[in-house]
């Protein structure tokens, strides 16, 4: 059994910078393009830095056709600043992080009311808003507590395209049904694991991410929405590489590295649910329709031949451990 995908997209990808970028960028090159996260150190806050970062990504990718949809780290903006960003080649949208909520987000938004003037201008200019939607409450409740913020923004700015990033709960899906200006991305790991997989037995640091994996009924709701072809749900891996020494350590860094195996594992999941016909929409079609994207032309054929996942990837003095390290998954990319 096999399936050929046309221009698959990753709508939420971390590529880091420096030597880590050189290592992980080619491991994402099976995708035709990706929405690139801006939470570097320092964060990417202006178009000049965004263009320079995009050029470093292009160099790291080599000859592989790969469309970079670049984001800027959300801060309060003037109309002139928004106009400059929108007119900069490669710009996709703004990524809003609540201050201190995840990796390298200390400079995020502390008072949402102060951001509303910028959001109003973004609505008028047709600039998408991507949000890491968590509160600072109890870790299992953070997404649920943030849903009220999404609801307020969807009502206050009905023409603003708002993407709820890496949703993890059934409640987030329910909210998306209420507002046409809400869409969402979901990761590979949140279609598969629950909190029990992370911490129910021996702690699994390479499955620890933010938002943290939730309960079985949340996982099952996300999986059902994906395989059934929900028209406003898109694949966003949130593939987040960290050096092995920072994952297997006190103060474990949050992030699951899935880029090299995401497409084969998705094919395995959709095939198991007799839903391969819906995979194209999940990994490209929905995103292209919602955002009007035209990614690089690329065809990726997947087949039900097993793939052995490496125990780690090493290069440029870096080492990262992928999800399913040292295990076998039942689909692979046909080269």
Q: Could you give the CA distance from residue 70 to residue 89 in angstroms, rounded to a whole number?
A: 9
Residue 191 predicted with pLDDT over 80: yes
Q: Could you give the CA distance from residue 30 to residue 2 in angstroms, rounded to a whole number?
A: 16
Q: What is the pLDDT of residues 155-187, one digit of tens each?
A: 999 999 999 999 999 999 999 999 999 999 999
The mean of the pLDDT values for the chain is: 96
**Tokens linked to 46:** 């202006």
**Tokens linked to 246:** 């920072």
Structure confidence at residue 106 as a pLDDT band (50, 70, 90): confident
Structure confidence at residue 335 as a pLDDT band (50, 70, 90): confident
Q: What is the pLDDT of residues 198-244, one digit of tens each?
A: 999 999 999 999 999 999 999 999 999 999 999 999 999 999 999 99
Are the C-beta atoms of residues 263 and 8 closer than 8 Å to each other? yes
Sequential DSSP letters for 80-138 = HHHHHHHHSTTEEEEEE-BTTSSTT-TTSBS-GGGGHHHHHHHHHHT--EEE----SS-
Are the C-beta atoms of residues 235 and 282 closer than 8 Å to each other? yes
Q: Give a yes or no: residue 255 inside a domain.
A: yes
Q: Give a yes or no: residue 281 inside a domain.
A: no
Position 113 scores a pLDDT of 87
Q: Give a yes or no: residue 4 inside a domain.
A: no
Position 108 scores a pLDDT of 84
- Spatial CA neighbour of 42 closest among 65, 73, 1: 73
Q: What pTM does this model have?
A: 0.96
Q: Which residues contact residue 25 at a Cβ distance below 8 angstroms, ignoring those fewer than 6 apart?
A: 15, 57, 60, 61
Report helix, strand or coil for 34: strand
Q: Give a yes or no: residue 326 inside a domain.
A: no
**Tokens linked to 85:** 């960003």
Position 100 scores a pLDDT of 82
Give me the catalytic one of 46, 196, 238, 277: 238
Position 111 scores a pLDDT of 86
Q: Could you give the CA distance from residue 108 to residue 75 in angstroms, rounded to a whole number?
A: 7
Q: Give a yes or no: residue 114 inside a domain.
A: yes
* DSSP-assigned letter for residue 207: G
Position 289 scores a pLDDT of 98
Residue 18 predicted with pLDDT over 90: yes
How far the first Cα of the chain sits from its last, in Å, is 15
Position 101 scores a pLDDT of 79
Provide, rounded to the nearest whole percent, the portion of the chain with pLDDT above 90. 94
CATH code for the domain in which residue 187 is found: 3.20.20.140
Q: Give a yes or no: residue 246 inside a domain.
A: yes
Q: Give a yes or no: residue 157 inside a domain.
A: yes
Q: Could you give the CA distance from residue 65 to residue 311 in angstroms, rounded to a whole number?
A: 27
Angle among Cα 25, 133, 121 to the nearest 5 degrees reads 90
Provide, rounded to the nearest whole percent, the portion of the chain with pLDDT above 70. 100
Residue 104 predicted with pLDDT over 80: no
238 is catalytic: yes
Q: Give a yes or no: residue 126 inside a domain.
A: yes
Structure confidence at residue 110 as a pLDDT band (50, 70, 90): confident
Domain containing 25 equals 10-261
Number of structural domains in the chain: 1
């Amino acid at each position: 059994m096999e399936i050929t995908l046309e221009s698959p997209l990753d709508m939420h990808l971390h590529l880091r910078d420096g030597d880590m970028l050189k290592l992980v960028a080619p491991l994402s090159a099976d995708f035709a393009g990706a929405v690139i996260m801006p939470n570097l150190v320092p964060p990417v806050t202006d178009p000049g830095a965004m263009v320079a970062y995009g050029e470093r990504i292009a160099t790291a990718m080599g000859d592989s056709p790969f469309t970079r949809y670049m984001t800027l780290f959300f801060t309060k903006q003037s109309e002139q600043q928004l106009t400059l960003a929108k007119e900069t080649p490669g710009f996709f949208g703004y990524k809003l992080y609540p201050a201190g909520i995840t990796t390298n987000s200390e400079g995020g938004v502390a008072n949402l009311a102060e951001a509303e003037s910028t959001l109003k201008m973004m609505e008028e200019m047709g600039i998408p808003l991507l949000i890491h939607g968590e509160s600072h409450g109890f870790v299992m409740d953070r997404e649920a507590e943030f849903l009220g913020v999404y609801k307020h923004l969807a009502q206050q700015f009905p023409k603003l395209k708002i993407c709820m990033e890496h949703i993890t709960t059934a409640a987030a899906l329910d909210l998306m049904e209420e507002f046409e200006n809400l869409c969402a991305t979901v990761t590979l790991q949140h279609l598969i694991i629950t909190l029990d997989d992370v911490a129910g037995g021996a702690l699994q640091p390479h499955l620890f991410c933010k938002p943290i994996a939730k309960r079985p009924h949340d996982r099952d709701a996300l999986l059902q929405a994906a395989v059934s072809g929900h028209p406003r749900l898109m694949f966003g891996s949130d593939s987040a590489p960290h050096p092995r020494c920072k994952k297997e350590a006190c103060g474990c860094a949050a992030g699951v590295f899935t880029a090299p195996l995401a497409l084969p594992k998705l094919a395995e999941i959709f095939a198991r649910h007799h839903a391969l016909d819906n995979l194209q929409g999940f990994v490209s079609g929905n995103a292209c329709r919602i955002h009007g994207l035209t990614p690089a032309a690329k065809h990726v054929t997947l087949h039900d031949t097993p793939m052995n996942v490496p125990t780690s990837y090493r290069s440029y003095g870096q080492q990262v451990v992928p999800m399913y390290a040292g295990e076998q998954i039942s689909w692979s990319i046909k080269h």
